[in-house]
Chain A
């Protein structure tokens, strides 16, 4: 192959309902690497794109939750397999976007994939760990089931472009939610790659939706959108967080403000987007 072959560049689009549309607005924005070199023109999602993503997520969530927990675990594990096989590609994207050394990028991707596997194992444990039977003082069988909040929106970690989004995507998804992720504005490529992989790994379209664009433009729309049940604002810009939480109160959203990627924070996030549904049934002859 000739040394001076012209590279075939990739177009980075949105992930919505299992498909890869451009923004309905036709807008793109320029993404550069850590040194400022042009990487790509990335789709710049609009309010309407967000709206469409939420519609897709709402429809997909019911399907996702109706699958068996075993099945959901398999699907997430399948995605981890895909990610592993494209480890080099993701690591390269992380390296370019974050400007870290290759070795560090590879480690970060490995940690992300391992965390994905961790979540794959959660799907069929959540009910047992968070739910249970309650010994009420009366002739009733009473049990509590953890159920997903529904549609969760998340603002991606601005710096940790791959590893940093795993928790915010797969915590809610493992618990049965559908997610609309707004990728890091500056470093969206690894998130887009994750989206591409998810589309070929048995996820029902719409369970995972990834938008690229501007946080200032889309985050307030997420906060005020009534059909979003939960909102992860842990990595929203500090200055805007209070306003986002306040706007989230309009529809009494569950808001997650944590921002570590330790296990305790991961558990707290998962609990935030889980509801306890308690069923009473009479016991009699």
Chain B
């Protein structure tokens, strides 16, 4: 049959790169201990690269056991001598200052994050950095109101908090960890991820500008061994970890019996459930946001799409049309939708799991986008004919890869959504409020997005159930992780 065809994106966009000049990345960075940058004890370093170009951005100090000890001692001293004697109102003002400084230097943070992480500048500029500032603003206000937080009249801090954060939202995760910890009166030793240390180090400069007392926050860069040394340090009272379930499990084992407090924000395999009466155009955007936001490097990603059978074909057609439209490429280009995969290692894992998906008989649909020759890239991919037993339906891929399954009844949707060891986030799409609430009540997940996905806010508690971890970040509940209550 004769037909017309309207090419989406027929109006090509010329390159619109954000300027990298504002980033001002130094050739090398030391460890931020006791308020100043210091060289590591044995002068070991590692490089951090731009995953979009594979070029080295900077050389970073690698903290060993001695350095970790110095950082913890600095935090302990600051806790005992200064921070535990600083009033809530004073702590609040420091946090407000930090929030403002992040806002003032927001473009610098956004550019640095995009260079170091590979995520699109649109996301760092519009999401990561503003949310990071908002977290400091929100928790600043709690610092002098802890007795009203529902944890008793005089809740006390825990002491020194060791905080280990992942590479997917480097600055934002630093804010999620530091803001409530400081508001509650703890001092911190923060370890950014090995592949994305730069914005945490830029944050150290902000802390200096804010004149936060020395040692209240220490930032130590390094690899897995640095993390282990921090977890096992006897003077650390609390471990807060965001990362994989495997590492979270190891941490829980290592500190067993030590009396250290622990909160874990781990992996997920979120189900995005679409009912036949859902607002179809917004559903398509929601699926896209759910799995392709931040290249799918999101623990709460909607990586399992569950569509009611009656509309599955229509949803798939609209979805693939939209997937093909995604602009994949230079993260610094303001029009880029999907940036670079964060590391060669992560790319290898995504590649391995998608190969497994094909091997197990699922049908792979991949965008025809042209990928840059240098750097780490993975084209947006959707699998259909996926069964619940497939690895791509069970394991966290942490990449731009979606597995689509179908269901017939709400009961079946809930059963399939809950058929996982994880329980971080789910989406529900329907115009019928009654059914949405019925489903939401039955989903085993810490966060449920109804007719939206991947939304975050400092007032909204975030965190998982089951093997997605325990403890909450954000909201009043987020304070509990840093109070001795």
Contacts and interface: CB of A to CB of B under 8 A. Distances in A.
Interface of A: 129-130, 132, 134-138, 140, 142, 144, 147, 149, 226, 229, 241-246, 248-252, 254, 257, 264, 267-268, 271, 275-282
B3 interface: no
B248 to A, nearest CB: 7
A275 B252 CA distance: 18
Given A136-B457, A248-B252, A276 B463 contact: yes
Given A130-B150, A243-B257, 18 more contacts: A140-B455, A144-B477, A147-B465, A229-B465, A229-B466, A241-B257, A242-B257, A243-B256, A245-B256, A246-B256, A251-B466, A252-B264, A252-B468, A264-B152, A268-B485, A276-B461, A279-B440, A280-B449
A134 B475 contact: yes
Contacts of B257: 241-243, 245-246
Contacts of B472: 276
B446 A277 contact: yes
B238 to A, nearest CB: 14
B73 interface: no
Contacts of A248: 252, 256
B252 A142 contact: no
Contacts of A149: 465
B362 interface: no
Interface in B431-485: 433, 436-437, 440, 443, 445-452, 455, 457, 459-463, 465-470, 472, 475-477, 480, 485
20 contacts: A130-B150, A130-B477, A136-B459, A137-B134, A138-B455, A144-B475, A149-B465, A252-B248, A252-B469, A264-B152, A271-B480, A275-B470, A276-B461, A276-B472, A277-B446, A279-B437, A279-B450, A280-B447, A281-B450, A282-B450
B231 interface: no
B134 A278 contact: no
A219 B264 CA distance: 24
A280 B446 CA distance: 11
A132 B485 contact: no
Nearest to B447: A278
Give 4 closest A-B pairs by Cβ, nearest first. Answer: A242-B257, A249-B252, A245-B256, A136-B457
Contact of B457 (A137, A243, A279, A282): A137
A252 B462 contact: no
A268 to B, nearest CB: 7
B245 interface: yes
Interface of B: 134, 150, 152, 245, 248-250, 252-253, 256-259, 264, 266, 421, 433, 436-437, 440, 443, 445-452, 455, 457, 459-463, 465-470, 472, 475-477, 480, 485
Nearest to B433: A281
A254 B480 CA distance: 15
B450 A132 contact: no
Grouping DSSP codes into helix (H, G, I), strand (E, B) and loop, the A interface class, with mixed when no group exceeds half, is mixed
Contacts of B446: 275-278
A3 B28 CA distance: 93
A149 B470 CA distance: 10
A278 B249 contact: no
A271 B465 CA distance: 13
Given A144-B461, A275-B465, A242 B256 contact: yes
A170 B229 CA distance: 39
A277 B448 contact: yes
Nearest to A223: B256
A254 B470 contact: yes
A131 to B, nearest CB: 9
A129 B469 CA distance: 23
Contacts of A250: 249
A279 B448 contact: yes
B443, B462, B463, B477 interface centre (most CB from chain A within 10 Å)? B477
Contact of B421 (A129, A242, A251, A257): A251
Contacts of B467: 251-252
Contacts of A257: 259
A85 to B, nearest CB: 36
Contact of B460 (A129, A136, A254): A136
A99 B152 CA distance: 37
A250, A251, A279 interface centre (most CB from chain B within 10 Å)? A279
Contacts of B477: 130, 144, 276
A278 B448 contact: yes
A149 to B, nearest CB: 7
B459 A134 contact: yes
Contacts of B462: 278
Contacts of B463: 276
A257 B460 CA distance: 28
A254 B469 CA distance: 9
A70 B248 CA distance: 37
Given A271-B480, A277-B446, A282-B450, A252 B266 contact: yes
